Amino acid sequence: MAIEMLALVLGLTMLVALALGLWVSLALSAVAILGIVIATSVPVGTVMATTIWGKLNSWELTALPMFIWMGEILFRSRLSQDMFAGLAPWMRGLPGRLLHVNILGCTIFAAVSGSSAATTATIGRMSLPELSGRGYDPRIAIGTLAGSGTLGLLIPPSIILIVYGAATEQSIARLFIAGVLPGIMLAMLFMGFTAAWAVMNRDKMPAAEPVIPFAERIAATRRLLPVILLIVAVIGSIYAGLASPTEAAAVGVFCALVLSWLSGTLTKETFTDALLGATRTSCMIAFILAGAAFLTVAMGYTRIPRELASWISVMELSPYMLLAALTLFFIVLGCFLDGISIVVLTTSIILPMVQAAGIDPIWFGIFLVLVVEMSQITPPVGFNLFVIQGMTGRNIFQVALYALPFFGLLVVGTVLLVAFPEIALWLPETMLSNN
């Protein structure tokens, strides 16, 4: 079969299998089997079993369930309340006032959790009722939450960066550290926009509340300190080369349990729920990774990625053109697929082409996550939209409309990252240990 024909058949099979509602990991495996059977005469089943075993049996990947578990424990603790009470007093003086609690709260929770849905739910659970009660415009309150909830994907620990690192054999520690500055940059873009919006729409902001004395602010923030220390310890020890991501994550689980015990939220029930929740989420992601690993091997047999890479290099696109085309492609894909599926499909098929264009794979990981963040707030499939729909009862298209400015800011962030690759690459260069 000609390679173009094969690519078409496999692409269509993937599309049909996904659209019919076959589970993503199984759809990836089905296409992989088909590809190998058509293109070669190697024993498919043996390749499948050895690939899945070889790929998942990895020390680096054990960071995945540990970080998920840590987030699950903190999600069930008092963190949501503490976050609002601790941040709100500081934000009253800024233009945009308590709206910034959404953004900063999400940024902080993103640093203990790798999931954007959990980040959105944890912060929104407390901040949306509070903001509504105080008379903030719901459109901007929901928009800021939807936008900043996506930071959960980028700011380490990031589940999606672990998936990318495992699928492309890049150092997860370096990917984590590379995500720090772009995450802070996005948070600042979001805060700047919110402040500017508040200045221009004074009529939509509620009346100012009295400023709280400094000593009282400190007292209110006291309960947030342990979490901040936890973040510094986890990210700091990875940066300093003191701990591998897995070790930092296990210590994170331990500290999260202690914090949850101290705040009185650690019961037999919350412990079991968090553990089983982490087991299932980790299983779901690892199984997709297994399917993707098998698909990557199958794609290697079909030679499609290599052909694609040489086809692109013949076209002599500049890297900028290539990235612009990929961004558009991912945004469309992101309307229908979740972030992890986008990342694994990309790494099986598109990565050779990207590397052929001379793009740094660590940088590309960060770029990919930024684009995937956009997919979290694009209808009809956007996980942050689902979470917020659940919390507010407003349908996802409405929520997506409120989040539109933040979609725009993510595009701005992506352009900045392309123009100044150092935003992602500078910090990993300075890491004490380069493993």
Q: Which of residues 129-188 bind another protein (CB under 8 A)?
A: 129, 132-133, 135, 137-139
Among 92, 125, 217, 303, binds another protein (CB under 8 A): 125
Q: Is 215 in a helix, a strand, or coil?
A: helix
Among 218, 240, 283, 321, binds another protein (CB under 8 A): 283
What CA–CA distance (Å, rounded) separates 102 from 124? 7
Scanning the structure block, which residue is given the tokens 């934000």?
A: 91
Q: Which of residues 46-75 bind another protein (CB under 8 A)?
A: 46, 48-50, 52-53, 56-59, 61-62, 64-66, 69
Q: Is 387 in the site for another protein (CB under 8 A)?
A: yes
Residue 412 C-beta: closest distance to another protein, Å:
27
What CA–CA distance (Å, rounded) separates 36 from 304? 12
Q: Which of residues 263-282 bind another protein (CB under 8 A)?
A: 275-276, 278-282
Residue 182 C-beta: closest distance to another protein, Å:
26
Residue 288 C-beta: closest distance to another protein, Å:
8
Q: Which two tokens stand for residue 127?
A: 């901040």
Among 380, 422, 433, 434, binds another protein (CB under 8 A): 380
Q: Is 332 in the site for another protein (CB under 8 A)?
A: no
Residue 363 C-beta: closest distance to another protein, Å:
27
Instruction: Please choose, from the candidates 207, 220, 178, the residue with its C-alpha nearest in 3D space to the C-alpha of residue 88.
Output: 220
Q: Which of residues 219-258 bind another protein (CB under 8 A)?
A: 243, 246-247, 250-251, 253-254
> Which positions ≥6 away from 231 have C-beta within 8 Å?
108, 111, 112
Q: How many residues bind another protein (CB under 8 A)?
A: 74
> CA 289, 292, 293, 294 torsion: positive or negative?
positive
- Provide the CB-side half-sphere exposure for 389 (13 A, CA): 17
Q: Which stretch binds another protein (CB under 8 A): 76-84, 102-110, 262-270, 382-390?
A: 382-390
Instruction: Please choose, from the candidates 73, 148, 80, the residue with its C-alpha nearest in 3D space to the C-alpha of residue 116.
Output: 148
Site string for another protein, 389-418 (x = CB under 8 A): xxxxxx------------------------
Nearer of residues 277 and 305 to another protein, judged by Cβ: 277
Q: Which of residues 335-354 bind another protein (CB under 8 A)?
A: 336-338, 340-341
Q: Is 435 in the site for another protein (CB under 8 A)?
A: no
What CA–CA distance (Å, rounded) separates 420 from 55? 34
Residue 129 C-beta: closest distance to another protein, Å:
6
Nearer of residues 263 and 279 to another protein, judged by Cβ: 279
> Which positions ≥6 away from 24 have C-beta within 8 Å?
18, 288, 291, 338, 341
What CA–CA distance (Å, rounded) separates 274 from 294? 30
CB 145 within 8 A of CB 353: no
CB 353 within 8 A of CB 323: no
Residue 173 C-beta: closest distance to another protein, Å:
15
What CA–CA distance (Å, rounded) separates 311 from 308? 5
Scanning the structure block, which residue is given the tokens 């190697």?
A: 42
Scanning the structure block, which residue is given the tokens 């520690």?
A: 173
Site string for another protein, 2-31 (x = CB under 8 A): ---------------xxxxxxxxxx--xx-
Nearer of residues 346 and 414 to another protein, judged by Cβ: 346
Question: From the centroid of its chain, how far is CA 253?
Answer: 20
